[in-house]
Structure 1
Amino acid sequence: MRRWLNKWPLFRQLTGSDRLGLGSAVQSGRSRQMRARTENAEKVAKSICPYCAVGCGQRIFVSNGTITQIEGDSDSPISRGRLCPKGSASKQLVTSPTRERWVRYRRPYATDWEYLPLDTAMDMIADRVIETRERTWQKTDEAGAPVQRTEGIASLGGAALDNEENYLMKKLYTALGAVQIENQARI
C-alpha cells in the first residue's frame, strides 16, 4: 500500500523532507531523468533575434552541429534575457523540417520550374551582380567628372523591412556603386 501511495506527489510531500513541494517530492521518475536542452551544449553563440527592429539578444545552444535551444540573452541590455513569443519560437525558423532548403528557378524561356540548392542560387545571383557591375561601370560622366558608379543595379526596399535591413541594404548597394537606392516608404 505504501509503495502505491509513494507514487502520489502529495503523499511524498507530506511524509518526506520536501514539505514545500519544491524538489524531489513533486518529481516523477520520468521528470528526474529529464535534462535541460542546454545542459550538454558544446557551444553557445550570441545572436540577435531576426524578427523585428528591437534587437533582442539571443543565446543559441549547439550540440553536434545542431541547434538544440534558443533563449533570451540575460547579458543583453535591450531584452535582459526575455523574448517575445516570436523570438522564443525562432528555433523553428532554422530547424523546422518544413523549412525550404531549395530555390525554385525557371530558366530563361523555360516553361517548368526546377529546384536548385540554395548555395547554387546564391552563387548565380552573385555572379550576375558582379557581371552587371563590371558591364555597366562608369568611371566618369559625360563631362569627364569622376563618378565611380553603376546605373545597372538598383534597389527598391519595402516598408516591411526593418531599419537594420534597410541600413545594410543601403551600405551594400552603395559599396557596389549603385545610385538608384530607394525605399517604398519614401515614395
Structure 2
Amino acid sequence: MARFSPLEWPVLRQFRSGDVSGRGPSVTSGKTRATKPRTATSDAVVKSVCPYCAVGCGQNVFVRDNKVVQIEGDPDSPISRGRLCPKGAASEQLVNSAGRVTDVLYRAPRAKDWQTLDLETATDMIADRLLEARRKHWQDTDENGSPLRRTMGIASLGGATIDNEENYLIKKLFTAAGAIQIENQARI
C-alpha cells in the first residue's frame, strides 16, 4: 500500500482541482475510481422477465463465463421501464445462492431423511398420484342425477412466484383433470 500524502487530502484536492463545492471527482477516493461495475465485464446481456409475480417486468441479465453476474431492470420494457421491485432486483441472488436446491428431493412417508430422485421418476410419481386421487374421488353426478364431472381429491394453491403464463397452464391442467378447488395466493 502506498504511503498517504497530505496533498491527497480531500480539501486540498478540492481547491487544486477547482471543485470547491466538493461534489466532483476531487472527493472520490482512489478505491472508488478503480471500482468497475459488474456489468462492464459481462460477455453477454440476455433479455428476460422477472420470475416473481405476474406483472412481467423486463430484466437485463448480464452473463460472464455462462454465469449470471448481475440482473437489472430493462429500460426497453414497456411494463417496468427499467425498474424492478426489491424482489426482482435481488433475483441474481435467487440464481447464484449457495443454498439453492437444484435436485429433486423426496421424503417417503414417515421417513426422517430426504433422498434425491431423478426428474423422470419424480414426474412419474406425481402423475400416478394425481391420477389415483382423481380416480378415487371422482364425482360423476350428484344425488339428483345432475352431472358434476369433478373430483374433490385434487386442489391447487398457486403462489406469488408463479407468473401469468404458468397460472394459465395450471388452471387449464387442473380444470381438465376435473379439479374445482383452484386458488391463488393473490385472491386469499
Q: Does 1:68 align with 2:65?
A: no
CA contact (8 A) 1:104 1:114 kept: yes
Equivalent residues in 2 for 1:20-35, closer than 5 Å: 21=22, 23-35=24-36
- Find the aligned partners of 1:8 and 1:83 in 2 and give their Cα distance: 38
Aligned to 1:6: 7
Residue number in structure 2 paired with 1:184: 183
Matched residues in 1 for 2:43 and 2:8: separation? 36
Q: Sequence identity of aligned pairs in percent?
A: 43
Which segments of structure 1 move beyond 3 Å, counting only runs of 4 or more? 17-24, 101-104, 128-137, 158-163, 171-174, 184-187
Per-residue Cα deviation, 1:16-37 (whole angstroms, up to 9, x for no partner):
1555655532322212221110
1:116-171 deviation per Cα after TM superposition (whole angstroms, max 9, x unaligned): 16xx2x3223223556789999xxxx9xxxxxxxx7x9452347576614213124
Instruction: Give unmatched runs, 5+ long, in structure 2.
Output: 141-150
Q: What is the TM-score when the length of structure 1 is the normalising length?
A: 0.68
Task: Give, as a single letter, the amino acid of the residue that structure 1 aligns with 2:121.
Answer: M
Q: Residues 49-101 of structure 1: CA distance to partner in whole angstroms, max 9, x if unpaired?
A: 22222222111111112111111110111111111222211211121222233
Taking the aligned partners of 1:114 and 1:21, their CA distance within structure 2 comes to 59
RMSD: 3.7
Distance in structure 1 (CA, Å) of the matches to 2:84 and 2:160? 21
Q: 1:125 aligns with which of 97, 122, 134?
A: 122
TM-score, length-normalised on structure 2? 0.68
Indicate whether 1:41 and 2:9 are aligned.
no
Contact 1:170 1:181 in 2 (8 A): no
Q: 1:154 to 1:43 in 2, by over 3 A?
A: farther
SS at match of 1:98: coil
Aligned residues between the structures: 168
